[in-house]
């Protein structure tokens, strides 16, 4: 069962502002890229289609946030670390931490959170559905040690 996932990539020029620093909005894209790679790693994808009534057709975000600590610049390699914080009947809560590769800082560059809800088509309407077994049986909540490894500084 999976409770965490890491995705490494390099900052592309188009992801930066005029100062060469990653534009804040891109951290939301990075979280989504990591989430999709995590779901693929368990053998499926976030949009498996409408094969049967009530099947998941998407995972809309019902909450998204990101706090920034230090800049990430053009051409730097970084890691997005996903942790499953909570698994409810109809929602998954993900924590994200961003690190520069080979950095030994005691705090991530940024921290993010996403809450996603599976939806399916029921009686012609798109509605929240329970997390399908295909996902639920492969995803577990991360250990408290991982979740609390880098406490937030106030």
CATH number at 75 reads 3.10.129.10
Q: Which of 35, 16, 14 is nearest to 24 (CA)?
A: 16
Find all residues with CB under 8 Å of 21, minimum gap 6, and list them. 71, 72, 73, 74
Range of the domain at 17: 4-147
Q: Has residue 153 been placed in a domain?
A: no
pLDDT, tens digit, for every residue of 37-95? Answer: 999 999 888 877 666 655 777 899 999 999 999 999 999 999 999 999 999 999 999 99
pTM for the whole thing?
0.92
Instruction: For residues 127 and 54, give the distance between their C-alpha atoms in angstroms, rounded to a whole number.
Output: 9
pLDDT, position 93: 98
88: Cβ–Cβ under 8 A, 6 or more apart, which residues?
131
Alpha helices in 21-154 (DSSP H): 26-41, 133-136, 144-147
Residue 50 has what pLDDT?
A: 61
Active centre residues (catalytic) = 17
What is the tally of structural domains in the chain? Answer: 1
What was the pLDDT predicted at 38?
96
Of residues 11 and 49, the one with the higher pLDDT is 11
152 within a domain of the structure (yes/no)? no
Q: Which of 66, 55, 81, 79 is nearest to 23 (CA)?
A: 66
d(CA 70, CA 33): 21
pLDDT greater than 60 at residue 36 = yes
What would the mean pLDDT of 94-99 be, rounded to a whole number? Answer: 97
Residue 154 lies in a domain: no
């Amino acid at each position: 069962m999976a409770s965490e996932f890491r995705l490494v990539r390099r900052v592309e020029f188009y992801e930066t502002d005029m100062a060469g620093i990653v534009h804040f909005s891109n951290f939301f894209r990075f979280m989504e890229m990591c989430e999709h790679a995590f779901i693929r790693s368990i053998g499926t994808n976030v949009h498996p289609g409408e094969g049967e009534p009530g099947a998941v057709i998407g995972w809309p975000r019902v909450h998204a946030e990101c706090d920034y600590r230090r800049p990430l610049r053009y051409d730097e390699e970084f890691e997005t670390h996903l942790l499953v914080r909570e698994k409810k009947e109809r929602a998954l809560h993900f924590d994200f931490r961003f690190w520069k590769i080979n950095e030994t800082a005691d705090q991530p560059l940024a921290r993010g959170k996403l809450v996603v809800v599976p939806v399916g088509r029921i009686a012609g309407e798109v509605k929240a559905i329970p997390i399908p077994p295909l996902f639920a049986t492969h995803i577990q909540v991360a250990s408290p040690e991982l979740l609390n490894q880098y406490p937030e500084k106030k």
